[in-house]
Amino acid sequence: MIVGRVLFYVQHLQGVGHVHRAAHVANALAGSGLDVLLVSGGMPVPGLSLAGPTLCQLPPMVARAGNFKDLVTDAGLPIDLSWKATRRDELVRLAMDFQPNVAVTEAFPFGRHQLRFELLPLLEAMTAMTPRPVVVASVRDILQEGRKQERITETLETLNRFFDRVLVHGDPAFARLDETFPRVDEIACTIHYSGLVSGPPPSADDGLARAQREVLVSTGGGATRGERLLSAALDARPLTSVRDLTWRFLLGPNLPGVEAERLRRRSEKGVIIENNRSDFGELLAGCALSVSQAGYNTVCDILRASCRSVLIPYADLGETEQTFRAARMHEAGLAQMVNEDDLSPVALAAAIDAAMIAKSGNATLDLDGAAQSARLIMNWLAAA
């Protein structure tokens, strides 16, 4: 078996989807016999499932709600030059002590441009190492559209200067990188698709049987608060053909306490309102229908569970990624879709009823992205 060391850098600024996807890939790498150092720059994530990788927590940095340019410490203090220098030095020191054979940056340079202050020095240090590690850009399949040309040029310059591979966590039959990132033909390094990075298949247990007749309403664990979706679903319930089923509402971590309490006060017979659960995959696998936003991880879980689904993509503040993903799911017959601007109890009820009479989605998409990422990285390590 090949023995090597992989440094995997991830920074989540508001939601936790990035770090959970990174954890799935890091687990697969460790399971392949590699020594994996997962370096996280966001707030610690309770319940993050790691089996094998070593987690190193940098001094946490987050972005204020709705503003990815407004970076603060975990104490809510503005990020200043001294703080940046301290964290940069710690990251570079970690990398030099670890001496990786492969270095992976999650999202960068396609995103996380705010982190150039530490990632460019990291990449420069990797370039100067002997032997030089294989440097990989790990990126999801669908990116935010509408970038300025100078930002795209900057991304290309960074890719072509430092990176050997681009690892796209998607199935090209569903979405290709060039659909949301222009000028792909100017990327000098090779582009590889891993398949979608999904969690492990849900286990069959009593939880599935209990969930068989439930409508599951969720907003994920990301940056969005989701109160509009949750409220619309409560109002839509009596208008649907599944009004007599149990409806389970999962409240995400960013929902304000006052909104959570308001929703709980509206609870009635047949309605369960609770916080997010670790067995979300099992609940999906047994539910009658899922109503959710269209984040990467949630959609991967829906595809893994092959359940009926209604997607309401988050589209505030010019966000395009979830709308693109939800539209693809709808076009493929894998979900019904209600645009956020069109969301109302009547519109949501109509989509729910349409989903219930449609066939449940049995996607043929590749959901083995974590294991395939590990196989690709092992191959690159062997060829280095």
pLDDT for res 206: 44
Confidence class for position 321, pLDDT limits 50, 70, 90: very high
132 plus 213 within the same structural domain: no
Q: What is the mean pLDDT of the chain?
A: 91
Average pLDDT on 309-335 reads 94
Confidence class for position 260, pLDDT limits 50, 70, 90: confident
pLDDT for res 366: 96
Confidence class for position 59, pLDDT limits 50, 70, 90: very high
60 plus 182 within the same structural domain: yes
pLDDT for res 2: 55
How many domains, the chain? 2
Tell me the per-residue pLDDT of 262-292, one tens digit each, with 9 for 90 and over. 888 888 889 999 988 888 989 999 899 999 9
278 plus 165 within the same structural domain: no
Residue 231 lies inside a defined structural domain of this protein = yes
Residue 362 lies inside a defined structural domain of this protein = no
pLDDT for res 200: 79
343 plus 314 within the same structural domain: yes
The H-assigned helical ranges of the chain are 17-31, 81-98, 116-128, 149-162, 206-211, 227-236, 257-265, 280-286, 296-305, 321-331, 345-357, 369-383
Dihedral over Cα of 26, 184, 332, 349: its sign:
positive
Average pLDDT on 208-216 reads 69
271 plus 180 within the same structural domain: no
Residue 316 lies inside a defined structural domain of this protein = yes
pLDDT for res 361: 59
* CB crowding 2-19: b at 16 or more within 10 Å, else e: eebbbbbbbbbbbbbbbb
223 plus 247 within the same structural domain: yes
161 plus 229 within the same structural domain: no
Residue 190 bridge partners (DSSP)? 165
Least confident of 36-50, 97-111, 202-216, 307-321: 202-216
pLDDT of 132 over the 80 cut: yes
Tell me the per-residue pLDDT of 150-208, one tens digit each, with 9 for 90 and over. 999 999 999 999 999 999 999 999 999 999 999 999 999 999 999 999 987 776 554 44
Q: What predicted TM-score, i.e. pTM, was given to this entire model?
A: 0.93
Q: Look up the domain containing 78 and give its range.
A: 5-198+368-383
Task: Give the whole-number percent of the chain exceeding pLDDT 90.
Answer: 75
Q: φ, ψ for residue 193 (rounded to 5)?
A: -105, 130
Least confident of 56-65, 117-126, 134-143: 56-65
Confidence class for position 316, pLDDT limits 50, 70, 90: confident
Average pLDDT on 65-85 reads 87
Q: How far apart are the first and last CA of the chain?
A: 15
Tell me the per-residue pLDDT of 113-127, one tens digit each, with 9 for 90 and over. 999 999 999 999 999
Confidence class for position 63, pLDDT limits 50, 70, 90: confident
pLDDT of 80 over the 70 cut: yes
Residue 126 lies inside a defined structural domain of this protein = yes
225 plus 338 within the same structural domain: yes
Tell me the per-residue pLDDT of 214-253, one tens digit each, with 9 for 90 and over. 999 999 866 667 889 999 999 999 999 999 999 999 998 7
9 plus 150 within the same structural domain: yes
Q: What is the CATH number of the domain that holds 232?
A: 3.40.50.2000
Residue 363 lies inside a defined structural domain of this protein = no
pLDDT for res 210: 47
Query: Is the bond leading into 109 cis (omega within 30 degrees of zero)?
Result: yes
pLDDT for res 283: 92
What's the residue count for the chain?
384
pLDDT of 209 over the 50 cut: no
212 plus 182 within the same structural domain: no
With tokens 């002997």, the residue in question is 130
Tell me the per-residue pLDDT of 343-363, one tens digit each, with 9 for 90 and over. 999 999 999 999 999 876 567
Average pLDDT on 65-81 reads 85
165 plus 54 within the same structural domain: yes
Residue 140 lies inside a defined structural domain of this protein = yes
311 plus 331 within the same structural domain: yes
Average pLDDT on 60-87 reads 88
To 10 degrees, the CA torsion angle through 274, 276, 281, 282? -30
Average pLDDT on 25-48 reads 94
Residue 261 lies inside a defined structural domain of this protein = yes
